[in-house]
Amino acid sequence: MDREAEINARLDAFNRNPVAFMNEKPTKYDTNGHPVAGVSLFSASTITNRRFVEARDIARQRALAVGSHGTARAAAAANDNAANLVDALRYNKLHDMENARLTQAKLAESPWSDDYWGLYKGELGARYADPSFPNSDNWQQNWNYIVANPAAAIVKSRSASRINRLAPSEKYDAILGDNNSTLTKRMWADGKSFYDATGSVETWMGICHGWSPAAYMLARPRRSVTVVTPDNIPIKFFPSDIKALSSLLWANMPARTRFIGGRCNDKNPAMDQSTGRVVSAQCFDTNPGTWHLAVVNQIGAAKRSMVFDVTFDYEVWNQPVYGYSYTYFNPQTRKATSTLAQAKVAISAYTNDKFKRFRSPIARSVVGVSMLVSYVVETNPSQREDDSPAYDSIQQVAYEYDLELDANDVIIGGEWYRNEHPDFLWTPTKSIPAQTRYESVATGTWDDIRRAMPVSWRTAGIQAATNDYSPLAKVVERLIAFSNGGVRSTTGVGLTPTPPTPSNPSTTPSTSTSSTSASSRIGEWFNRVLGR
């Protein structure tokens, strides 16, 4: 079935039963156009009782706390403004977008795929390449294996095959000469908090909120790179290892974020009985007018990605956008059209408007749009020696919506034809890097891959792991540079910290550098992690 026929089939289904269609999950496709099965990290019980809504709201609360502009409303208002997200809002009219040839666009290269590094497997402490690592849903089983097979002993063995199968955080600790395994213990401590409190660690918890911006804010590591510890023991970092450290950096040390969209923690928001449309203002999410302006101006005009929630459901979210293409349909006839003129219907002539009572009072015409969005999804880490866009996992989803235009044809709002649509959109501000508080402690240069990093870098790296729960940005960026055949850092001048004295964790993963209850540690984790 060609795209026009697919659009018509979906619009026919909407005509026959708007309520049923509005509440269907949109089908997701691979790059060959084949439907893909939905992926959920939530348990069956969490899906059934809709507790996933609460979990997703944790992500909103964290994002809204950093550079937010309020919650969305049913009409595109000042607090649901694409200008608050995009690098520059250059286009706000459909015919101008057409003239600029922006009805379709994709980035020069896709953001890179990576794992979401679930807490239940120890985050970056997971030995993904070790065939004996349990990979269990049970956090305790995974941790017991690490305790029984300590990384320090493996490094001392000087066995290249065993060392290269260590977890990303274990490799990082080793090249710092960190005998206390600070970053790795931080990784396992996150899961321990939940395990001690509830007896389990939810599989949805992870760092997709770090991967999704890192995937386009930091360069792709293209080749494996071998660096040495202070004891001159070589350790190979595969692209997956470097990506993992990049994702953790952006998870725990995010730069200033631009955000638009809704925040809804209602498990069953009120809906219009005749159309199935969500009538709760706070649960309407990103207005389709805002969505269209954001996608075209950011992906098409600025040529820079952004992160979006694919659908407000129990499947994936926090995905970096790769590309889009859109075509039109006539909202009165609900048939696909080939031109904007054929799709534009005056409000006065729109007699078949199922959303009439929700229209903006200044809307003068309505245009139907079907947009196919391409986005990057997670992949499992591997010991592949190289990485390229060919290894990225790309999916697509189609959205139907209409756009309201004012008397000057400016896009001012619109209506979704499905309730499960993009929920919120965000991106770090352009050119602002993620940094720890200890970047300026790392003085001197590390430009010789044959030598261990300078002592000051090692000191700063341990301080960052201890107090910022993060790898040092300078180390991450240098590993990327080594991986790509250069040594230039993009960090620039670091922040000037007042560094506290590094703590000395015990061999058991601690929930804090001081005595802290499990419940408060959970609160701390939620405050600092936009979880999956």
Residues in CB range of 131: below 8 A, 6 or more apart: none
Q: Contact at 8 Å (CB) between 225 and 452? A: no
pLDDT tens-digit readout, 370-396: 999 999 999 999 999 999 999 999 999
pLDDT of 54 strictly over 80? no
Give the pLDDT score at 71: 34
Q: Contact at 8 Å (CB) between 308 and 321? A: yes
pLDDT of 231 strictly over 50? yes
- The closest alpha carbon to 194, from 11, 333, 55, 300, belongs to 55
pLDDT tens-digit readout, 313-369: 555 568 999 999 999 999 999 999 999 999 999 999 999 999 999 999 999 999 999
Give the pLDDT score at 187: 97
Give the pLDDT score at 202: 84
pLDDT of 40 strictly over 70? no
**375: part of which helix (H) or strand (E)?**
strand 365-377
Give the pLDDT score at 62: 52
Residues in the chain: 532
3-state secondary structure 407-468: CCCEEEEEEECCCCCCCEEEEECCCCCCCCCCHHHCCCCCCCCCCCCCHHHHHHHHHHHHHH
| Average pLDDT for 115-139 | 96
Give the pLDDT score at 489: 38
Distance CA 87, CA 430 (A): 7
pLDDT tens-digit readout, 408-461: 999 999 999 998 888 778 899 999 999 999 999 999 999 999 999 999 999 999
Give the pLDDT score at 36: 82
> Per-residue confidence at 505, pLDDT binned at 50, 70, 90?
very low
Give the pLDDT score at 52: 64
Residue 171 is encoded by which pair of tokens?
Answer: 């490799």
Residue 414 is encoded by which pair of tokens?
Answer: 């619109």
* Strand boundaries in 378-423, DSSP class E: 393-405, 411-416
Residue that wins the pLDDT comparison between 474 and 207: 474
Q: How many CB atoms within 10 Å of residue 198?
A: 11
> Per-residue confidence at 496, pLDDT binned at 50, 70, 90?
very low
Distance CA 136, CA 115 (A): 16
In this prediction, what percent of the chain has a pLDDT beyond 70? 79
At 528, is the secondary structure helix, strand, or coil? Answer: helix
| Average pLDDT for 250-264 | 79
Give the pLDDT score at 37: 73
pLDDT of 118 strictly over 80? yes
pLDDT of 65 strictly over 70? no
The overall average pLDDT reported for the chain is 84
> Per-residue confidence at 55, pLDDT binned at 50, 70, 90?
low
DSSP-assigned letter for residue 35: B
pLDDT of 66 strictly over 70? no
Residue that wins the pLDDT comparison between 316 and 474: 474
